[in-house]
Chains A and B, each alone.
Chain A
Amino acid sequence: MLISVVSNTTIRNANKPAARRILINASAATFLFAIVLSSTLVSAQTASDSDKEMIRTLLRRVEQLETRVAQLEADRQRAPLLVSASAPAPVPDPAPVLEARQDPPKQEPPIQEPPSPMEQRMDTKTLMQIRGFGDTTFHGSDQKGTHTSFSLGQLNLFVTSDISEKFRLLSEIVFEADPTNTFGVDVERLLLQYSHNDYFNLAVGRYHTAIGFYNTAYHHSAWLQTAVGRPFLFQFEDNGGILPIHNVGVSASGLIPSGRLGLHYVAEVGNGRASSSPSAEAVQNVVDENNGKAVNLALFARPDAVRGLQLGFSFYHDGLQPIGQPHIGEEIFAAHAVMQRPNFEWLNEGMIIRHAPQGQSHVFDTPGFYTQISKAFGIYRPYFRYQYVNEADDEPVFPQVGLQYGPSVGVRMDASESVALKLQYDHTAFRHQPSVNGLSLQFAFTF
């Protein structure tokens, strides 16, 4: 009796299958022992009333143990199904597709060990991944007042984390020194992404505006770029750029059902750029200076017929409010035709930035374009870029840009899978200044 009580309690507390099996065997032994004991008691025929009572008690106990053993057996058979409830159910029968095969039957499927909870988590999700990018450049030019310098580029920590199957975090944290040699930290991208399916993805946070191609293809990585730097048109805001490269808001993107045409869309709504003062931080991270929101719509195609080809255009609209000036409507029309293959690239982008001050008939159009071509020969990739941007001298928003144009020629050498050396010569002509010739040697890497 005492043994049975102890066994029953222990069985209830047992969790491990092996321990459970041992306890089942122990229960069975108890059961047999009880039968033998009861048989002995019955065959004696000298049992007193108290003995008869004991027999009845033991028989009840035997029944209870039988019930318990049956319950544990059922639990053990059900256990694999419970474990795989969140994972695919093992299908012992061949699928219809496999049944259709004329092969002799394959070997029996191996018994799949159910993964542990940690295994399941690691299989489908990755907690956090960090990739780094960095670069250092030695450069000089014949521009008066400049010196040859070693310049630390951007140290970029690209962090992603799969929060769940549908949600993901993406961020780009950049450490960068400014012309005063002081380091600063910028969160260049911080996005919570929701990925519903191939046709609808939503991201909220700080992103790179999908104007044209270059801005969303290379972000803050010199290693990914073929050339040393970004084209004039796509310079960052804090480096004299004229485009709203970054924005804070919400972005939707995805495929458009279009068969082999491979159409994609991007729709963005954000704060837009600051315009009240030239000294203001260009990206409105926390506070928007007006209630109007910047809107950007982009459409591009990646046709199946020509692998690596991308054709697209975008339209951006915002309202700017410089202090002491009338409201200025800003519109940016951009188009691109890009061919990108592992050994060959040809990037072509053109755009018009239109600033229309309210109450004036004069509209300021700033055209710009660049073309870049490169081909890899082993570890060497010679490249050529020609770029042009022409802003009017009385342009109300960016009067300092003016006219800039000229070629860049260079060669990139991939010293390893993660390290690239680039040597580039630039010739840049200006409207009211002498031309500048520059030479740069850049070490760009990823880690």
Chain B
Amino acid sequence: MQRIGIVLILITVTVLSAGFLAIRPTSLTAHAAGGADDALAIIVNQSNPVDNCSFEELRKIFLGEKSHWPNGRRITILMLDPQQPERKLVLRDIYGMNEKDLNNHFIQGVFTGSVLASPKTLASAAEVRKFVFNVPGAIGYVRNTELDSSVKALRIDGRLPDDKEYLLRLQTRPKP
């Protein structure tokens, strides 16, 4: 009876350890790779003269408070459909608003004339890339893994999505 108990305990410990070891390397790998893969790239047209902007400037652009690029082109803001994680990140980190507040912000902004146009909503990263590719003043976002050279990734505060210090990440940043 004792043997059976010891065997069961050993089996349990072995299974748990194996499970732990099996999971741990995966999570470490994911974490290590997460530095680049979970980043959200802010993309603009290749012809856009802007390569870098501060986070505050980015916020103003997405809020519609800044409506023109330095070359005079009108800014067209692109958002993904609601409920997509990328949109949630943009709402949380750039806008600091929920969906309702965002809606109210643009209704009031367009109504008062302080905002030229509400964001255009697209369904997928491919559509965002295509729109940015075709419209010189467009700005949108895609996951870093969905980035290609048809568009240009903006540096935010001097950092590209591959940089460790890059701010816009889909995973919750660890608290210091």
Contacts and interface: CB of A to CB of B under 8 A. Distances in A.
Interface of A: 87-95, 97-98, 100-103, 106-110, 112-113, 115, 119-120, 123-124, 126, 131, 158, 160, 162, 165-166, 168, 170, 191, 193, 195-198, 203, 216-217, 219, 221, 224, 260, 302, 304, 307, 342, 414, 417, 446
Nearest to A219: B111
A14 B161 CA distance: 47
Contacts of A107: 148
A92 B136 contact: no
B79 interface: no
Interface in B123-163: 126, 129-131, 133-137, 147-150, 152-153, 155, 160, 162
B113 interface: yes
Interface in B10-59: 36, 45-47, 51, 56
Interface in B86-124: 96-98, 100-101, 103-105, 107-108, 110-113, 116-117
Given A97-B160, A110-B148, A123-B135, A342 B101 contact: yes
Given A95-B46, A115-B134, A342 B113 contact: no
Given A110-B150, A216-B112, A124 B46 contact: no
A191 B111 CA distance: 12
17 contacts: A88-B136, A94-B149, A97-B51, A97-B155, A102-B162, A103-B36, A112-B134, A113-B130, A131-B110, A196-B72, A198-B68, A217-B108, A217-B112, A224-B111, A307-B96, A414-B100, A417-B103
Contacts of B150: 90-91, 109-110, 112
Given A88-B45, A92-B149, 9 more contacts: A87-B134, A88-B47, A95-B46, A97-B51, A97-B155, A106-B147, A224-B107, A260-B56, A342-B98
A152 B72 CA distance: 44
B74 A195 contact: yes
With most chain B CB atoms within 10 A of its CB, the pick from A93, A162, A198, A216 is A198
A423 B129 CA distance: 47
Contact count band on B: 35 or more
Contacts of A203: 113
A126 B135 CA distance: 14
Contacts of B100: 414, 417
Nearest to A207: B113
A89 to B, nearest CB: 7
A224 B162 CA distance: 42
